[in-house]
């Protein structure tokens, strides 16, 4: 697709389009499509996933990028079902740390 290469004055371009990456995949949930921000090493993460996984942070909170602390995600989170999409792939978003309730 060449649509991401257009440069029109006053038009806004998302991070993946600016980086000429028209089909990003979220490093956390392993899905494409949506609002992405880059990590410090050029990978992509959904803003939603970054906000709902407590271990993850932002290098610049105002700009919400780069997404940081991916390596801080607890290993057990990768084996759980996501509280939002119910899928068991990627890093699970929001769950009770005691395991008593599914948030």
User: Residue 38: pLDDT band by 50, 70, 90 thresholds?
Assistant: very high
Tens digit of pLDDT for each residue in 3-14? Answer: 444 554 556 678
- The chain-wide mean pLDDT, for the chain, equals 82
Across residues 66-95, what is the average pLDDT?
Answer: 85
94: DSSP letter: -
| Residue 20: C-alpha distances to residues 11, 52, 55, 72 (Å) | 16, 27, 28, 28
Query: Which of 78 and 60 is assigned the larger pLDDT?
Result: 60
User: Residue 97: pLDDT band by 50, 70, 90 thresholds?
Assistant: low
- Cα separation, 89 vs 78, whole angstroms: 7
Task: With beta carbons less than 8 A apart as the criterion, state whether 84 and 52 touch.
Answer: yes
User: Residue 102: pLDDT band by 50, 70, 90 thresholds?
Assistant: very low
Q: How many residues does the chain have?
A: 103
Tell me, what's the pLDDT at 98?
56
Tell me, what's the pLDDT at 99?
55
Across residues 28-46, what is the average pLDDT?
Answer: 93
């Amino acid at each position: 697709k060449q649509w991401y290469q257009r440069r029109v004055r006053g038009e806004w371009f998302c991070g993946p389009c600016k980086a000429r990456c028209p089909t990003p995949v979220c490093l956390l949930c392993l899905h494409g499509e949506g609002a992405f921000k880059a990590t410090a090493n050029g990978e992509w993460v959904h803003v939603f996933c970054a906000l709902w996984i407590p271990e993850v942070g932002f290098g610049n909170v105002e700009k919400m990028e780069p997404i940081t602390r991916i390596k801080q995600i607890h290993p057990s989170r990768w084996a759980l079902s996501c509280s939002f999409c119910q899928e068991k792939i990627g890093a699970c978003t929001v769950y009770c740390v005691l395991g008593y309730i599914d948030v």
